[in-house]
A and B are shown apart, each in its own frame.
Chain A
Amino acid sequence: MQSSVNAKPLAWLLALWLCAAGFAAQAEEEAAQHRFSVLHADTTLVDGVYLLNARVDYRLSEVIMGALQNGVMLAVQVEVEVERERALLWDAELTRLSQRYELRYHALTRQYLVKNLNTAVQQAFPTQAAALSALGEIKNVPLLDEHLLTPGVNYSARLRARLDHSQLPAPLRLTALLSPAWQTASAWYTWPLQH
């Protein structure tokens, strides 16, 4: 008797959990279509300096595009980390580079402005696609000096791109925190550092 009484809420809980898991999976799937993705990244050694070249595919969800169209500035951050590979322990971080960009819509000129905050260079693009394409092109950004690396040790670099939620307007931050449409961070793209 007692067990059957207790079994009911348990069954309800299980059903609820399954539903929640289903919804979460669906939302995850939707979000995955709008996640940023790193298509390619590598480094080339030029004159003793490692230069970073990368191609990031920025795909914006409807929600984010709507925010952009309505005057919300999007802060995009590209994080690069160089790590020394270790056999037993986790890899030791050697250096960290952060490229920050701002993307906004200029209503008067109907242009999309992309500004590299590291270089303060601003470019205007008539279409969103052009702007995103330009944003995704990282060319010859100096990463680190060769002499910082120890010969004979393996190093790996990794890169990811994400939307910086802390730069969003305050009312939007709660939504961005909770809504899967705003979860844009790409997976880490890892490649070995040749030297």
Chain B
Amino acid sequence: MALATLKHPRFRLVPMAVLLALLLGSLYLMSNVTQSSEQFSRLYLPLLALNGTALVALSALIVVNLARLVRQYRQGVIGSRLTLRMMILFVTLAVAPVSMVFYFSLNFLHRSIDSWFDVRIEQALDDALELSRVALDARLSELLNQTARLALELEGTPDGAALTVLNDLRARSNAGELTLFTQKGHIIASSSGEFSSIVPDTPGEAILLQLAKGQNYVRLDPIRDAGLYVRVVVSAPPGAAGGERRVVQALFPVAARQSELASGVQAQYTQYKRLAYLRQPLKYTFTVTLSLVLALSLLSAVWAAFFSTRRLVAPIRDLAEGTRAVAAGDYTLRLPLQSKDELGFLVVSFNDMTQKIARARDALNHSQQHAEAQRAYLQALLQHLSSGVLTLDHRQCLRTANAAASELLGARLDDHTGMPLGAIAERHPHLNAFIETLRHHLATPAREWREEVILEGPGARKTLLCRGTALPATESEGDTLIVFDDVTALIQAQRDAAWGEVARRLAHEFRNPLTPIQLSAERLRHKYLKTLDAKEGELLDRLTHTIVQQVEVMKDMVNAFADYARNPLLQTRPLDLNRLINEVLDLYRGQASGARFQTRLEAGLPLIEADAGRLRQLLHNLIKNALEATPDSGARITLSTHSLPDFVELSVRDHGPGIPREIMAQLFEPYVTTKPKGAGLGLAIVKKIAEEHGGTLSAENPRDGGARLVLRLPVSATARNAQDLPDKAHTL
């Protein structure tokens, strides 16, 4: 949050304002430095240092910004080209006028400084100074002579009495101060008038040295702050004969007016000289200051250009990035609103636009998902339907087919989507009848139709109940919907039920008259055989025998029908199928039929829940059927068992001629047989018993000849649990 506030443009203006203030400070300083105001001249160097630091900081800032800009330009960052162009424009606009102003100001400055000085004024000042010197020099020699004379008067005056003489001499000579020194500069006596100082002014060692060489000293001296004085130092005779020579120093005040004028000339001369001397340093200082101001202005301008360019380009860059994002499909981007000008308006419009696009896309997605869900729902519905469903377009090409349709028709129809019916018929010849029926109905204008179609499949024969209807007019006009079901089992069940009823009635209605017929025939023979002659007797015997025999056959048949119709209560118990098979086979092995039985019984077959008596009958019927199917005596019959998941399978294989194709479909119906004798109920009963036990019976002709009947019986519940357990244990 704090960072965000700091990044606000208003806060970025603060350093800019500080820089501006610095600039103004420099300018103010520059205008004041010539006036030599103590305060400003003291501030000059620190301000110079401050400005120099600001300069370095600004340069660093600009270098960093520039490096970043160049890097962005090379990387092709959006907005960097525009920034660079605007930068160049701004900097050019700033540099050109500022440089011009700098050049002319510098020129002007140097010229105006030079114009302060004039050779004539300088000459005049030199002359004035010289004049002052000349005027004073005349007085100097006069004062020297006067002092020399005064000094002579000190001859013979001892050191102790010197003060009185000095006072006297001073009074006569207008000297401001008269002092008597030893040759080494020690004061012997001093007389001073208007000097407030108690200590008399002493001549320096240099003067004493000069005096020792025999040269008197006279000079105009600016003594302390008391104006100009003439200092005369002369040698004085000793106080006593043979004594050491002494030194007299006299200080004469220069006349007030003269002193004032001379001081004025001196001051003005010095002032002018100094100013002239300072001309170069002044120019130098001005140039430095002005250059500093120029550099600061330029760098500030460059930095300001960076700043304003970035602010100006930011919304444009945002817009460019936003457009790119929208082009890439990202509609979530919202650009920040930075200003309320036309660019701001553009940003608001852009945000509105992306929002609307995003909303439209979401709505589209939603409806698409909805449609997809509906479609998936219908698809799932169709795929899990047990009825086969096909749709055909108006050109009789397959549009859709569900899994049940493929399964029922025995062909993978979902691979043939878009294929015309004719082409499908060519690939799958067994579908010919089915497709012909469809074509027939499609050619007629009836909107709805239904028909049963027999489908000769590779394994079995199926009866399909087809219903067709034209689909309601949609964008795919002329489509036809075909729904079909496998009604084979239903028809079979109806037939089985009908046969059951027939068998029951036959057994019931036929059984009763048969016994009287048989008894009557036997009685007829018994009674009249004796009464007839041999020839007639033989005829009677043959006829009655035939009646009795045929009645027996009929009785057998009725019994068979009774068996078939019978619905006995099953007395089930767990059984070992292998053991049962061996028991039954033992009966046949004893017979002299010459048949050979082969068994391949799987060891450890699970138990089945079955009625042993019914199952034994089933096995007898199966074996008998196999024996009967093999006409010659050397029949070879193979029985094999093996376990399937939840089922136990028994297959009985003979090596006879096989089952004729034409009766394959009705093989397990009564009266369907190829054998000369029997009611053809054997397999019908086998199938019935199998179904009573929840099993199935099927027949097939193996490729290497003969026929095979396959019986599947469900494993008993306990055996199934026992079978599952090891699996689970294994899994666990």
User: A residues engaging B (CB < 8 A)?
Assistant: 66-67, 70-72, 105-109, 111, 113, 120, 122-126, 130, 134, 166, 169-175, 177
A71 engages B224 (CB within 8 Å): no
When distances are taken between beta carbons in the complex, the residues of chain B under 8 Å from A171 are 33-34, 278, 281-282, 284-285
Q: Which of B3-11, B214-222, B299-307, B362-370 contacts A (4 or more CB under 8 A)?
A: B214-222
CA distance A125 to B207 in the complex (A): 9
B274 at interface (Cβ–Cβ under 8 A)?
yes
B41 engages A173 (CB within 8 Å): yes
CA distance A70 to B281 in the complex (A): 13
**A and B contact pairs by CB, cutoff 8 A, 23 listed:** A71-B277, A72-B278, A107-B129, A107-B266, A107-B269, A108-B265, A108-B266, A109-B222, A113-B222, A122-B223, A122-B224, A124-B219, A124-B221, A125-B204, A126-B219, A169-B36, A169-B274, A169-B278, A171-B281, A171-B282, A172-B281, A174-B44, A174-B281
B222 CB contact (under 8 Å) in A70, A106, A169: A106
B270 at interface (Cβ–Cβ under 8 A)?
yes
When distances are taken between beta carbons in the complex, the residues of chain A under 8 Å from B715 are none
When distances are taken between beta carbons in the complex, the residues of chain B under 8 Å from A175 are 281, 284-285
When distances are taken between beta carbons in the complex, the residues of chain A under 8 Å from B224 are 120, 122
A107-B129, A174-B48, A177-B45 as given contacts; A124 in contact with B222, CB under 8 Å: yes
CA distance A134 to B40 in the complex (A): 34
CA distance A182 to B270 in the complex (A): 21
B443 at interface (Cβ–Cβ under 8 A)?
no
Query: Which chain A residue lies CB-closest to B265?
Result: A108
A109 CB contact (under 8 Å) in B41, B219, B278: B219
Query: Which chain A residue lies CB-closest to B284?
Result: A175
A108 engages B219 (CB within 8 Å): no
B278 CB contact (under 8 Å) in A120, A166, A172: A172
Min CB–CB distance B261 → chain A (angstroms) = 11
A124-B221, A125-B204, A177-B45 as given contacts; A66 in contact with B277, CB under 8 Å: yes
Min CB–CB distance B122 → chain A (angstroms) = 12
**Residues of chain B from 443 to 457 with CB closer than 8 A to chain A in the complex:** none
Query: Which chain A residue lies CB-closest to B49?
Result: A177
A72-B274, A109-B222 as given contacts; A174 in contact with B265, CB under 8 Å: no
CA distance A125 to B269 in the complex (A): 20
A170-B41, A170-B44, A171-B282 as given contacts; A109 in contact with B277, CB under 8 Å: no
Query: Which chain B residue lies CB-closest to A174?
Result: B285
Query: Which chain B residue lies CB-closest to A137?
Result: B205
When distances are taken between beta carbons in the complex, the residues of chain A under 8 Å from B265 are 108
B273 CB contact (under 8 Å) in A71, A122, A134: A71
B276 at interface (Cβ–Cβ under 8 A)?
yes
CA distance A171 to B45 in the complex (A): 11
Do most interface residues of chain B lie in helix, strand or loop, or is the interface mixed? helix
A173 CB contact (under 8 Å) in B45, B132, B204, B274: B45
CA distance A109 to B668 in the complex (A): 161
When distances are taken between beta carbons in the complex, the residues of chain B under 8 Å from A126 are 206, 219
Contact with A along B220-249 (1 / 0, CB 8 A): 111110001000000000000000000000
When distances are taken between beta carbons in the complex, the residues of chain B under 8 Å from A172 are 278, 281
Do most interface residues of chain A lie in helix, strand or loop, or is the interface mixed? mixed
Contacts A125-B204, A126-B219, A169-B36 known; list 7 others, CB within 8 Å: A108-B262, A109-B221, A111-B219, A113-B222, A122-B223, A171-B284, A173-B41
B271 CB contact (under 8 Å) in A71, A122, A123, A166: A71
When distances are taken between beta carbons in the complex, the residues of chain B under 8 Å from A67 are 277
B284 engages A70 (CB within 8 Å): no
B288 at interface (Cβ–Cβ under 8 A)?
yes
When distances are taken between beta carbons in the complex, the residues of chain B under 8 Å from A166 are 42
B219 engages A174 (CB within 8 Å): no
A122-B224, A124-B219, A124-B222 as given contacts; A130 in contact with B206, CB under 8 Å: yes
CA distance A122 to B202 in the complex (A): 11
When distances are taken between beta carbons in the complex, the residues of chain B under 8 Å from A66 are 277
Min CB–CB distance A111 → chain B (angstroms) = 7
When distances are taken between beta carbons in the complex, the residues of chain B under 8 Å from A124 are 204, 219, 221-223
A-B pairs, top 9 by smallest CB distance, nearest first, are A70-B277, A170-B41, A71-B274, A71-B270, A171-B282, A108-B266, A171-B281, A71-B273, A109-B220
**Residues of chain B from 251 to 290 with CB closer than 8 A to chain A in the complex:** 262-263, 265-266, 269-271, 273-274, 276-278, 281-282, 284-285, 288
Candidate in A67, A71, A113, A122 with the most chain B CB atoms within 10 angstroms: A71
B220 engages A108 (CB within 8 Å): yes
Min CB–CB distance B707 → chain A (angstroms) = 90
When distances are taken between beta carbons in the complex, the residues of chain B under 8 Å from A111 are 219, 221-222
Min CB–CB distance A170 → chain B (angstroms) = 4
When distances are taken between beta carbons in the complex, the residues of chain B under 8 Å from A113 are 222
A170 engages B36 (CB within 8 Å): yes
B324 at interface (Cβ–Cβ under 8 A)?
no
CA distance A66 to B220 in the complex (A): 23
Candidate in A106, A124, A166 with the most chain B CB atoms within 10 angstroms: A124
**Residues of chain B from 7 to 49 with CB closer than 8 A to chain A in the complex:** 33-34, 36, 40-42, 44-45, 48
CA distance A175 to B280 in the complex (A): 10
A170-B36, A171-B282 as given contacts; A70 in contact with B274, CB under 8 Å: yes
B428 at interface (Cβ–Cβ under 8 A)?
no
B133 at interface (Cβ–Cβ under 8 A)?
yes
CA distance A57 to B608 in the complex (A): 136
When distances are taken between beta carbons in the complex, the residues of chain B under 8 Å from A122 are 222-224
**Residues of chain B from 114 to 168 with CB closer than 8 A to chain A in the complex:** 129, 132-133
When distances are taken between beta carbons in the complex, the residues of chain B under 8 Å from A173 are 41, 44-45
Contact with A along B286-325 (1 / 0, CB 8 A): 0010000000000000000000000000000000000000
Query: Which chain B residue lies CB-closest to A123?
Result: B204
Contact with A along B72-91 (1 / 0, CB 8 A): 00000000000000000000
CA distance A175 to B270 in the complex (A): 21
